[in-house]
């Protein structure tokens, strides 16, 4: 048996070719002469998955045997992108696989390109969860990611006549070879109904009898750490009806009604809500949140109960991190389970809940704060509402001593907002019900304490902490930029792959002639490749011999794509006038990418504006010698992996105090782009690491912005600067929308009549000047530009998600690494392959 396994899971090109052919034959019923591209991709994925499963099993066994504590990362979003190339790299079989496929007449890239992105997230928050899973597995921490297996991920964005059009993302259409359904891991979740009080053994017990039931079935995806030592699990819940049919209705002859109720249950995991940093009080969304929280906690508790320990030890074996307030119902749900199902006292249950839970706050924007109306929560989750009232009551009693004779302060920190209708403030619940509240960059964490939750900081000074975000260098450098990764390894060795602090050793190479010239060559190659990607992806034609200036991220007013657009108007106007700001300007390609929430009118208008500006400028024979403006449709992880390594100038220009951290900024940095940006989010820490001299920092600081505050007059700022005045005239006279009168009025209104909430005009002059210095440097001194770019890479050590995860593990989770013990046989073959 062992020999057979060894052959089957061997890692030579020959083994791989054989297994691929076998998968084609047995799981696709095809031979190598009669296959579809989808079939070949699936067969390859299955051949690779086979090589993961054994180590996956072994990881679970080791973690159980060692009685290891586990982190359970609860997130409504996991923006995973593709799995194939990442898994192949982490398995260490890339070279052998390329050889195997070419021996059969296929190319690896072509097969890998068939994989749809797993787009189960909106943007930064979901991508952070994905990077964390990679780091947890690589660092050998026992970890589960828990979320929802949406049938439809983030919509596919098309651009028609300049407008965003949303198309459904049917990512499971051809099946998903990476996941394994676990039909035996299934939990029933209830909604609605009523709470009864039953007196048992001289004690009042609460019994919640729901009126609606939904089953959650687990689908597991292996998360392969680098080197394939630990393989962790991403467990996503899919909703199904507990009964195939409602037999009562069926017997009454209402067949279609019975099927309808089945479909209604399945609605729960149908689609990801496409709003980023915007709260929408939709009932189905609340049900999604409770559904996945209830399944996940049931699963965590089942696994703890197998250990046969006392409840007081629960926090020694499980930590739960809440990725934003989306899973914050985990707090009352944990209380309900411990009180009603397990019979613990309130104080016992509360101590356990607080000790287990940690909460990560992701934004300061008031419109993102989740506040469910009390009547909705009450009707869907009546028992949870009772528990929340009790939590609040006890909390307010304990808080009185901090704010004597200040009932208005108690009103502010109460979980219940006394509005009409009343609302439940989920952030307050998350802070009160957990032992840790963290922000995601130093500035953000300070603002959480100082301006968002000062009273909570007074009550719980030890709970507030910072965990600056990070990204995994394995996906964003090793996988996305293989040529640069290879160069770096040649220069400093490959230790940076698992210990990113070693990237600092690259600093001396910033002035090494050969290295600098290789860096420049690779950047150009990446631009050629990105141009080919865009040509294939959307038919776009761009010139690799131009400065690539890139702003890719969700479209949001606070991220200020409009500021970028206004600056382009300044540049365009200057070119038309033969002005000073653009003489000797390098030819530039401005690339934009990002999705707007479907209901966010101004964000969609910003996309339309960029496309209209592009049309005018790209069609202007004078301007288009220097300027190309492009909106890349359907920005997603796979596009990011292609565009970011090709970027020269990274746009990180949010209003100071609005972007909690940003992670796009870090991806660009480690790929050797220079940043033009504000002192916001993690840009502040990037500046600390690399030095402001090696960036183009501009704009008002957070303090200055809040100083400006209410006295800010955007009109005065805009009209006081002649060039800005002229550029603004282009917008207000309809220069970019000649045949579409007034379409941009809402944008003009938000800038002038509604007070320019994001301070575009306060920063535009400084932005234009900083941008000019960037252009001048690029044009004037390529060596100096490249030196700074390489210094950026060398200074990016802090921004690995390995560092972030190490801090969470130590400060919040008290989590220990659990190295997977090898047995002989298959791992030996694997380790041999890794050594080669
Ligand atoms: C990294 C990433 C983001 C986050 O970008 P920010 O610039 O930090 O907002 C969003 N979407 C995708 C696809 C990403 O890869």
Q: What percent of the chain has pLDDT over 90?
A: 90
pLDDT in tens, 83-124: 999 999 999 999 999 999 999 999 999 999 999 999 999 999
Query: How far is Cα of residue 607 from the mean position of the Cα atoms in its chain?
Result: 21
pLDDT at residue number 35:
84
- Of the pLDDT bands very low, low, confident and very high (cuts 50, 70, 90), residue 11 is confident
- In-domain check, residue 121: yes
Asked which of 780, 796, 818 is the last residue of a domain, the reply is: 780
Q: Is 401 exposed, middle or buried (0-12, 13-18, 19+ CB in 10 A)?
A: exposed
Which residues, other chains included, contact 619 with Cβ-Cβ below 8 Å and sequence gap of 6+? none
pLDDT at residue number 824:
43
- In-domain check, residue 677: yes
Structure tokens at 109: 């890239």
Q: Do both 433 and 341 map to the same domain?
A: yes
pLDDT in tens, 730-746: 999 999 999 999 999 99
Q: Do both 196 and 275 map to the same domain?
A: yes
Q: Do both 455 and 602 map to the same domain?
A: no
Region 445-465: mean pLDDT is: 98
Task: Sort strands 156-160 and 588-593 into parallel, antiparallel or unpaired.
Answer: unpaired
What does the mean pLDDT of the chain come to?
Answer: 94
pLDDT at residue number 4:
43
How remote is the CA of residue 487 from the centroid of ligand 1, in Å?
26
How remote is the CA of residue 518 from the centroid of ligand 1, in Å?
28
- In-domain check, residue 202: yes
pLDDT in tens, 625-642: 999 999 999 999 999 999
Identify the residue whose C-alpha is closest to ligand 1 atom 7.
664
Q: Do both 199 and 331 map to the same domain?
A: yes
- In-domain check, residue 789: no
CA dihedral (775, 779, 781, 782) positive or negative? positive
Asked which of 780, 810, 830 is the last residue of a domain, the reply is: 780
In this structure, are residues 824 and 6 in contact, taking their beta carbons and an 8 Å threshold? no
- In-domain check, residue 164: no
Region 36-64: mean pLDDT is: 95
The angle formed by the CA atoms of residues 710, 447 and 293, to the nearest 5 degrees, is: 120
Q: What are phi and psi of 500, to 5 degrees?
A: -70, -10
pLDDT at residue number 822:
66
How remote is the CA of residue 495 from the centroid of ligand 1, in Å?
26
- Of the pLDDT bands very low, low, confident and very high (cuts 50, 70, 90), residue 710 is confident
Residue 245: how many other CB atoms lie within 10 Å: 15
Q: Residue 81 CA: which ligand 1 atom is closest?
A: 13
pLDDT at residue number 9:
62
pLDDT in tens, 779-819: 999 999 999 999 999 999 999 999 999 999 999 999 999 99
The residues lining ligand 1, judged by C-beta closer than 6 Å to any ligand atom, are: 123-124, 127, 553-554, 636-637, 640, 662-664, 667
In this structure, are residues 96 and 12 in contact, taking their beta carbons and an 8 Å threshold? yes
Higher pLDDT, 250 or 242: 242
pLDDT at residue number 251:
65
- In-domain check, residue 413: yes
pLDDT in tens, 184-205: 999 999 999 999 999 888 888 9
CA distances from 245 to 188, 209, 575, 603 (A): 16, 21, 69, 43
Q: What percent of the chain has pLDDT over 70?
A: 96
- Of the pLDDT bands very low, low, confident and very high (cuts 50, 70, 90), residue 245 is low
**How many domains, in total, are found in the chain?**
2
276 pLDDT more than 70: yes
Kindly give the residue spans of alpha helices, DSSP state H, lying in 325-406. Answer: 330-336, 346-356, 374-380, 382-399
Residue 107: how many other CB atoms lie within 10 Å: 11
In this structure, are residues 821 and 147 in contact, taking their beta carbons and an 8 Å threshold? no
Region 511-531: mean pLDDT is: 98
Kindly give the residue spans of alpha helices, DSSP state H, lying in 187-246. Answer: none
Q: Do both 543 and 429 map to the same domain?
A: no
- Ligand 1 pocket: which of 154, 639, 664, 665 to mutate (most atoms within 8 A of CB): 664
How remote is the CA of residue 552 from the centroid of ligand 1, in Å?
7
Q: Per mean pLDDT, which range of 253-262, 463-472, 588-597, 617-626 is the poorest?
A: 253-262
Beta bridge partners, 575, equal none
Which residues, other chains included, contact 604 with Cβ-Cβ below 8 Å and sequence gap of 6+? 163, 164, 555, 596, 598
Domain that holds residue 265: 67-82+117-157+173-468
Asked which of 453, 468, 483 is the last residue of a domain, the reply is: 468
pLDDT in tens, 484-515: 999 999 999 999 999 999 999 999 999 999 99
827 pLDDT more than 50: no
Q: Do both 216 and 339 map to the same domain?
A: yes
pLDDT at residue number 597:
97
Structure tokens at 312: 């007081």
Q: Do both 438 and 346 map to the same domain?
A: yes
805-809 contacts, C-beta under 8 A, 24 or more apart = 805/132, 805/135, 805/136, 805/139, 805/141, 805/470, 806/139, 807/467, 808/71, 808/321, 808/358, 808/467, 809/71, 809/139, 809/141
- Of the pLDDT bands very low, low, confident and very high (cuts 50, 70, 90), residue 2 is very low
pLDDT in tens, 584-623: 999 999 999 999 999 999 999 999 999 999 999 999 999 9
CA dihedral (283, 285, 289, 291) positive or negative? positive
Q: Residue 640 CA: which ligand 1 atom is closest?
A: 15
Identify the residue whose C-alpha is closest to ligand 1 atom 11.
123
- In-domain check, residue 264: yes
Query: Which CATH number characterizes residue 407's domain?
Result: 3.40.50.2000
- Ligand 1 pocket: which of 552, 561, 634 to mutate (most atoms within 8 A of CB): 552
Q: Do both 250 and 331 map to the same domain?
A: yes
Region 531-553: mean pLDDT is: 98
760 pLDDT more than 70: yes
Region 520-525: mean pLDDT is: 98
Within 381-455, strands assigned E span 416-417, 423-425, 436-439
How remote is the CA of residue 271 from the centroid of ligand 1, in Å?
20
Q: Do both 314 and 440 map to the same domain?
A: yes
CA–CA separation, 10 and 20 (whole Å): 12
Point out the residues that are catalytic. 362, 553-554, 559, 663, 667
Query: How far is Cα of residue 170 from the mean position of the Cα atoms in its chain?
Result: 20
Which 3-state string (H, E, C) describes 675-689?
Answer: EEECCCCCHHHHHHH
pLDDT at residue number 829:
45
Q: Do both 352 and 204 map to the same domain?
A: yes
831 pLDDT more than 60: no
Q: Do both 446 and 536 map to the same domain?
A: no
Q: Do both 585 and 676 map to the same domain?
A: yes
Higher pLDDT, 685 or 29: 685
- In-domain check, residue 626: yes
pLDDT at residue number 252:
66
């Amino acid at each position: 048996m062992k020999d057979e396994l060894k052959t089957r899971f061997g890692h030579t090109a020959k083994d791989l070719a054989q297994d691929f052919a076998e998968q084609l034959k047995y799981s696709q019923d095809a031979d190598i002469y009669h296959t579809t591209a989808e079939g070949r991709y699936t067969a390859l994925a299955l051949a690779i998955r086979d090589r993961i499963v054994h180590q996956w099993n072994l990881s679970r066994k080791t973690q159980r045997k060692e009685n290891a504590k586990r982190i359970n990362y609860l997130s409504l979003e996991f923006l995973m992108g593709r799995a194939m190339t990442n898994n192949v790299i982490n398995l260490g079989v890339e070279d052998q696989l390329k050889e195997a496929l070419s021996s059969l007449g296929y190319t690896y890239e072509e097969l890998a390109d068939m994989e749809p992105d797993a787009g189960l997230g909106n943007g930064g928050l979901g991508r952070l969860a994905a990077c964390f899973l990679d780091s947890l597995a690589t660092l050998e921490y026992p970890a589960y990611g828990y979320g929802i297996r949406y049938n439809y991920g983030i919509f596919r964005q098309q651009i028609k006549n300049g407008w965003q059009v949303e198309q459904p993302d049917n990512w499971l259409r051809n099946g998903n070879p990476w996941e394994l359904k676990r039909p035996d891991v299934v939990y029933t979740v209830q909604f609605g109904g009523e709470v009864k009080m039953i007196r048992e053994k001289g004690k009042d017990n609460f019994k919640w009898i729901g009126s609606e039931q939904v089953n959650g079935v687990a689908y597991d995806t292996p998360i392969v750490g680098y080197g394939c030592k630990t393989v962790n699990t991403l467990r996503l819940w899919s909703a199904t009806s507990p009964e195939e049919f409602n037999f009562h209705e069926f017997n009454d002859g209402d067949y279609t009604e019975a099927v309808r109720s089945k479909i209604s249950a399945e609605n729960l995991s149908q689609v990801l809500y496409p709003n980023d940093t915007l709260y929408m009080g939709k009932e189905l969304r609340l049900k999604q949140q409770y559904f996945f929280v209830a399944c996940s906690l049931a699963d965590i508790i089942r696994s703890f109960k197998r250990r046969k320990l006392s409840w007081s030890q629960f926090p020694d074996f499980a930590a739960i991190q809440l990725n934003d307030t989306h899973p914050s119902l985990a707090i009352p749900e944990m209380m309900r389970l411990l009180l009603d199902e397990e019979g613990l006292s309130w104080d016992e249950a509360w101590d356990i809940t607080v000790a287990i839970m940690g909460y990560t706050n992701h934004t300061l924007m008031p419109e993102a704060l989740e506040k469910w109306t009390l009547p909705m929560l009450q009707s869907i989750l009546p028992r949870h509402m009772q528990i929340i009232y009790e939590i609040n009551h006890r909390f307010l009693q304990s808080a009185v001593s901090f704010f004597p004779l200040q009932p208005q302060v108690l009103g502010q920190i109460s979980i219940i907002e006394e509005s009409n209708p009343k609302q439940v403030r989920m952030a307050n619940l998350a802070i009160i019900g957990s032992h840790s509240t963290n922000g995601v960059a130093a500035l953000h964490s300070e603002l959480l304490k100082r301006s968002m939750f000062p009273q909570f900081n007074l009550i719980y000074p030890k709970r507030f902490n910072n965990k600056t975000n990070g990204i995994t260098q394995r996906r964003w450098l090793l996988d996305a930029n293989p040529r640069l990764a290879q160069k770096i390894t040649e220069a400093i060795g490959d230790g940076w792959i698992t210990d990113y602090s070693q990237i600092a050793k690259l600093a001396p190479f910033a002035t090494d002639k050969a290295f600098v010239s290789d860096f420049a060559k690779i950047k150009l190659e990446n631009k050629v490749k990105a141009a080919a990607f865009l040509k294939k992806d959307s038919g776009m034609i761009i010139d690799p011999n131009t400065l690539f200036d890139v702003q890719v991220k969700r479209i949001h007013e606070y991220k200020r794509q409009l500021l970028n657009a206004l600056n382009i108007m300044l540049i365009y106007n200057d070119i038309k006038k033969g002005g000073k700001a653009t003489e000797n300007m390098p030819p530039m390609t401005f690339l934009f990418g990002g999705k707007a929430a479907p209901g966010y009118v101004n964000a969609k208008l910003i996309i339309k504006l960029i496309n209209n500006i592009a049309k005018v400028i790209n069609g202007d024979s004078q301007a288009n010698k220097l300027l190309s403006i492009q909106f890349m449709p359907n920005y997603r992880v796979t596009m990011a992996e292609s565009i970011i390594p090709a970027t020269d100038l990274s746009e990180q220009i949010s209003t100071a105090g609005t972007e909690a951290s940003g992670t796009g900024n870090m991806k660009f940095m480690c790929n050797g782009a220079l940043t033009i940006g504000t002192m916001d989010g993690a840009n502040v820490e990037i500046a600390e690491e690399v030095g402001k001299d090696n960036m183009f920092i501009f704009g008002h600081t957070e303090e200055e912005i809040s100083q400006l505050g209410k006295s800010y007059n955007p009109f005065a700022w805009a009209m006081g600067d002649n060039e800005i005045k002229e550029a603004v005239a282009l917008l207000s006279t309809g220069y970019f929308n000649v045949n579409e009168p007034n379409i941009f009025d809402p944008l003009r209104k938000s800038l002038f009549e509604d007070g320019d909430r994001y301070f575009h005009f306060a920063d535009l002059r400084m932005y234009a000047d900083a941008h000019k210095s960037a252009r001048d440097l690029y044009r004037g001194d390529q060596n100096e530009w490249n030196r700074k770019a390489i210094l950026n890479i060398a200074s990016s050590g802090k921004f690995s998600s390995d560092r972030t995860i190490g801090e969470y593990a130590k400060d919040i989770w008290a989590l220990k690494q659990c190295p997977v013990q090898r047995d002989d046989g298959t791992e030996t073959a694997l380790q041999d392959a890794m050594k080669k």
